[in-house]
Amino acid sequence: MDDDDKKLYVGSEIGKLRRVLLHRPGLELSRLTIDNKDELLFDDILWVEEAQKEHDAFADLLRDNGVEVVYFRNCLAHILKEDEIRKNLLEEALALEALDHQLKDALAQAFYDMPPADLSEVLIAGLTALEAKELVGNIKSLCLLTSERTDFLIKPLPNILFQRDPFSFVKDGVIISVMRFEARRKEPLYAKYIFNHHPYFSGLKIIYGEETANIHPYFIEGGDILVLSDEVVAIGISQRTTAGAIQVVGRKLARELGIKKLLAVDIPKKRVYMHLDTVFTMVDRNCFVIYPGIRGSVRLWEI
């Protein structure tokens, strides 16, 4: 945030942090099983209660150092109070689940009548067939009839824990990610609605991710974006961010935010490397931590 007017502003990876957007681990992580963890991009099943304790300690440490902690779930619940926003968001979110019309319409009506906090929880934690039946009854839905009790009709978002990935703030703008894997496609959708309608983010420029052309296969994820200074941004060409998307985003960063130099960093396209911030981290002026395994394989272009 800017010193003078307290508007949102991210000019580096190492500046003073004043406000942070977090997601506290919740029910969505309890949805992980041996059978679905790979599809949901997890290598193992987490101990949710312990993860919550660690998260709370982290959040308390931030507050103790003067940082305002804002929660993604609460921001989503806040905007869902508005009927028109709720209607539009539900329409887009349910369209991603391949439900039949009977079930989609019944769920939309049930969700429309839910308290905002409860709906926010469902949109993040997902909904099983059994839970759907409790909401809508035994309607004539082929999706419902053919689903097992524990099948997800609305898929959970356990990766929403990683708040750096579905968006990235650069100066007074934000890049909304186009996620590489199906399991994470809804996270940027919710973020788009929050950034457009929550008062915390008034005046924020959406640089990429809102136009209809900003979709598959132009993948870009926030974990590949590093703000090195007011004028220099590094973006990784990775398993999850494509070179074409970097060229498109780079032009927008130059035109709309005055970014002078873009460093395109080509890293191995493997899960173990994943994002640029997995293997390369700015920790001080002219000081970086680097994973030794990429030393011989990184290529760099200055744009």
Domains present along the chain, CATH in parentheses:
19-74 (no CATH), 76-158 (1.10.3930), 161-302 (3.75.10.10)
Note whether 218 and 242 are within 8 A (CB).
yes
The rounded distance, in Å, linking the Cα atoms of 27 and 47 is 12
The rounded distance, in Å, linking the Cα atoms of 224 and 205 is 20
The rounded distance, in Å, linking the Cα atoms of 155 and 207 is 28
The C-alpha torsion from 184 through 163 and 26 to 85, rounded to 10°, is: -70
The C-alpha torsion from 38 through 30 and 134 to 127, rounded to 10°, is: -40
CB count within 10 Å of CB 176 equals 22
Confidence at residue 229, expressed as pLDDT on a 0 to 100 scale: 95
Q: What letter would DSSP give residue 122?
A: H
CB count within 10 Å of CB 109 equals 12
Report pTM.
0.93
Cα–Cα distances (Å) from 220 to 173, 210, 249, in that order, read: 16, 13, 9
Query: 148: closest CA among 133, 129, 132, 161?
Result: 129
pLDDT, tens digit only, all 303 positions of the chain? 444 455 889 999 999 999 999 999 999 999 999 999 999 999 999 999 999 999 999 999 999 999 999 999 999 999 999 999 999 999 999 999 989 999 999 999 999 999 999 999 999 999 999 999 999 998 999 999 999 999 999 999 999 999 999 999 999 999 999 999 999 999 999 999 999 999 999 989 999 998 766 778 899 999 999 999 999 999 999 999 999 999 999 999 999 999 999 999 999 998 889 999 999 999 999 899 999 988 888 999 999
Confidence at residue 7, expressed as pLDDT on a 0 to 100 scale: 80
Confidence at residue 216, expressed as pLDDT on a 0 to 100 scale: 80
Note whether 220 and 245 are within 8 A (CB).
yes
